[in-house]
Chains A and B, each alone.
Chain A
C-alpha cells in the first residue's frame, strides 16, 4: 500500500545495468563532444544524420543531457503476456531530457509508455517516476501520479463528445480548483502555445480538425495541467512531412521552454534524431542501444547500421 517504499538511494545509476559499459561511458560524455567520432562513421546515412543533428543545434541550444536528476527510471523490467514483450529493459530520462524509444513495429515500444503510466505493471523490475516506485501503488494512487504526466496518443484520443475547449480544459476541471475564467485563460494560452488560434478552434468538435491540428490539440491537452513529464506515442505517424516537422519542432520547443522530461515512442528515426537527447533502440525485447543520437550514428554495431540504413 505504501507509495513511498522507494528512496533516493536508488538513484545511483543502477538503471544502466543492462547496457554496455562503453555505452554508459558514452552517455556521460553527452552530445557536446567534438565531432571526431563522426569520422569513424563514413557513408551517406551517417552524413545525413550528422546534417540533421547540426541543423538543429541552433534551434536547440540548451539541450540538457545527463545533468538533471532522474525523472523516469526503468530498471531491468521484464514483461510477458502470452510471449515475452520486454526482457531486462532499463533506461533513464533525466530532468529536461527527451528520450526517444525507437525500434521495429511490434517490439513493445508502446508497452514502455504503458509501464511508465502504470497502465501495465511489470512482471519483474522497477519503474520509478520522480523517485517513486510506482509498481506497488493502488489504483487511486496511480491515478494521482498520472496527474504529473501529459500524454499525446497516436490517434490523438481527443474526446469526440467534447469541444476542443472542453478537451483541453478537461484535466484542469478534473484536478484543479481553478475558476472557469482561469481555465478559459489557461486553455487559450495552451492553444496559442501549440500555434492554434483559440478564437477559431475552441468551439469546434475534434472531428472537424485536420490530423495535425488534432495532434496539436492533443499536445495542448497534455500540457494543460503543466506536467513535469510528457509522453508521446508515435506523435508523427500518419502525418505528412511538413506536419511531422511542425510536431517535432513543437516537442523540441516544449523541452526548451518548459524543461519537461519527455519519452517519445516513434519509428520515425529522422524525427527521433532531431528531437531527442538520447535514443533507446529496442530489438528483440531488449534495449540494444541507449545513448545520444551522435553515438548511435557513429556506432559500428551491425543491427544499428541496418536499422539506420532504412533512413
Chain B
C-alpha cells in the first residue's frame, strides 16, 4: 500500500508540474500581446541570450563544420566524390546540426542561467516582492525571456550554420585542396536541390529557421518553469538548473525528430 501511495503521489506531482508548465506557457504567450510591454527587459534579454552566446555558437559551429568535412572526406575519398563535401556540410548544418547545436548550447548556457536567476529570486522572496508590488512575475520575467529567445535562437542558428559552412571550407581548401569556388557552388547547389517555397525561399531555410524558433520557446519556458518553482534554498537552485538543462536538451532532441518528420511531409523536395 505504501508503495502504491508513493507512486500515486509521485505521479500526481509530475502531472501537476506538467499542468503548471502548460499554464505558464499559455500565460507567457498571452502576455506577449498584453500591456504593459517591458521593452527594456526584452532588449536586455536579447543581449543576454543572443549577443552573449555569439562566441560559443560561432566556435561550436566552426569546429563542427570542420569535423563534418573531415569525416565525410575520408568516406568520400573512397568513391572519388570529395568535391561534394560542401553539399554534405551544408545539408547537415542547415537542416539538423545548426538548429540542434545552437539549441543545446543555448540550453546549457542560457537555460541554466535563467533557471538559476529566477530560482535565486524565488528563494530570496524577490518573486513575492514583485507580486506584492502589483507586478505579474510572468509578465515581467517570463514573457521578455520568451520573446528574446524566440527571436534570438533563429539568429544564432543562422550564424552557427554560416560558421559551420566556413569551417567546412577551411578543410576543403587546406586538406582536400578543393578550390573555394567549387566548394561554394556545391553549397548553393545543395540549398537549391531542397526545393523552394514561393519560388524564392529554399525549403532548407524553413527547416533551419522553424526548428530554432520552437527550441527558443522550449528553452526559455523550461528554464522559467523550473526557476519559478524552485524550493529548498540554494540547493533547490542547483536542482532547478540541472533539471532545466536536462529537460530542455531532451525536449530539443525529441521535438527535432517530430518537426523534421512533419516538415518532410509538408514540404517534399
Query: A171 to B133, Cβ gap below 8 A?
Result: yes
- A233 and chain B: residue at smallest CB distance: B125
Query: A174 to B135, Cβ gap below 8 A?
Result: yes
Q: Per-residue CB proximity of A147-167 to B under 8 Å, as 1/0?
A: 101010111011110000000
Query: A157 to B134, Cβ gap below 8 A?
Result: no
Query: B128 to A146, Cβ gap below 8 A?
Result: no
Q: Per-residue CB proximity of A105-148 to B under 8 Å, as 1/0?
A: 00000000000010100000000000000000001000110110
Query: Does more than half of chain A's interface fall in helix, strand or loop, or is it mixed?
Result: mixed
Query: A170 to B134, Cβ gap below 8 A?
Result: no
| CB-defined contacts of B135 to chain A, threshold 8 Å | 143, 174
A86, chain B: closest CB distance, angstroms: 19
Q: Per-residue CB proximity of B79-107 to A under 8 Å, as 1/0?
A: 00000000000000000000000000000
Give complex CA distance A106, B266 in Å. 59
Give complex CA distance A154, B123 in Å. 12
Query: B128 to A119, Cβ gap below 8 A?
Result: yes
Check B129 for interface membership: any CB of A closer than 8 A.
yes
Check A83 for interface membership: any CB of B closer than 8 A.
no
Q: Per-residue CB proximity of B116-159 to A under 8 Å, as 1/0?
A: 00001100111011011111100000000000000000000000
Check A175 for interface membership: any CB of B closer than 8 A.
yes
Query: A160 to B126, Cβ gap below 8 A?
Result: yes
Query: A151 to B132, Cβ gap below 8 A?
Result: yes
A222, chain B: closest CB distance, angstroms: 9
- A114 and chain B: residue at smallest CB distance: B128
Near B by CB (< 8 A), chain A positions 8-33 give: none
Query: A170 to B124, Cβ gap below 8 A?
Result: no
Query: B134 to A143, Cβ gap below 8 A?
Result: yes
Give complex CA distance A157, B120 in Å. 11
| CB-defined contacts of A171 to chain B, threshold 8 Å | 133-134
| CB-defined contacts of B128 to chain A, threshold 8 Å | 119, 153, 157
Q: Quick one: which of A117, A153, A154 has the most chain B CB within 10 A?
A: A153
Query: B129 to A157, Cβ gap below 8 A?
Result: yes
Interface size on A, residues (CB 8 A): 20
Query: A157 to B133, Cβ gap below 8 A?
Result: no
A175, chain B: closest CB distance, angstroms: 6
8 Å CB contact of A159 from B126, B131, B132: B126
Query: B133 to A153, Cβ gap below 8 A?
Result: no
Give complex CA distance A307, B121 in Å. 35
- B125 and chain A: residue at smallest CB distance: A157
Q: Per-residue CB proximity of A172-210 to B under 8 Å, as 1/0?
A: 001100000000000000000000000000000000000
Query: A155 to B124, Cβ gap below 8 A?
Result: yes
Query: B126 to A144, Cβ gap below 8 A?
Result: no
| CB-defined contacts of B132 to chain A, threshold 8 Å | 117, 119, 146, 149, 151
- B133 and chain A: residue at smallest CB distance: A171
| CB-defined contacts of A175 to chain B, threshold 8 Å | 133-134
Give complex CA distance A153, B121 in Å. 13
B14, chain A: closest CB distance, angstroms: 18
- B117 and chain A: residue at smallest CB distance: A161
| CB-defined contacts of A160 to chain B, threshold 8 Å | 120, 124, 126
- A170 and chain B: residue at smallest CB distance: B133
A279, chain B: closest CB distance, angstroms: 24
Give complex CA distance A117, B133 in Å. 10
Query: B125 to A144, Cβ gap below 8 A?
Result: no
| CB-defined contacts of B136 to chain A, threshold 8 Å | 139, 143
Query: A174 to B134, Cβ gap below 8 A?
Result: yes
Query: B129 to A119, Cβ gap below 8 A?
Result: no
Query: A153 to B134, Cβ gap below 8 A?
Result: no
Give complex CA distance A146, B130 in Å. 10
Give complex CA distance A149, B133 in Å. 8
A155, chain B: closest CB distance, angstroms: 6
- A174 and chain B: residue at smallest CB distance: B135
Q: Quick one: which of B126, B132, B135 has the most chain A CB within 10 A?
A: B132
Give complex CA distance A158, B131 in Å. 13
Give complex CA distance A151, B127 in Å. 13
| CB-defined contacts of A157 to chain B, threshold 8 Å | 124-126, 128-129
B146, chain A: closest CB distance, angstroms: 18
Give complex CA distance A159, B141 in Å. 12
Give complex CA distance A116, B129 in Å. 14
| CB-defined contacts of B133 to chain A, threshold 8 Å | 146-147, 151, 170-171, 174-175
Query: A153 to B129, Cβ gap below 8 A?
Result: yes
| CB-defined contacts of A151 to chain B, threshold 8 Å | 129, 132-133
5 inter-chain pairs at a CB distance below 8 angstroms, sorted by A residue, are: A119-B128, A119-B132, A147-B134, A153-B128, A157-B126
Since A117-B131, A175-B133 are in contact, a sample of 4 more A-B pairs with Cβ atoms closer than 8 Å, ordered by chain A residue number, is A117-B132, A146-B131, A160-B126, A174-B135
Question: What residues of chain B have their CB less than 8 Å away from a CB belonging to chain A?
Answer: 120-121, 124-126, 128-129, 131-136
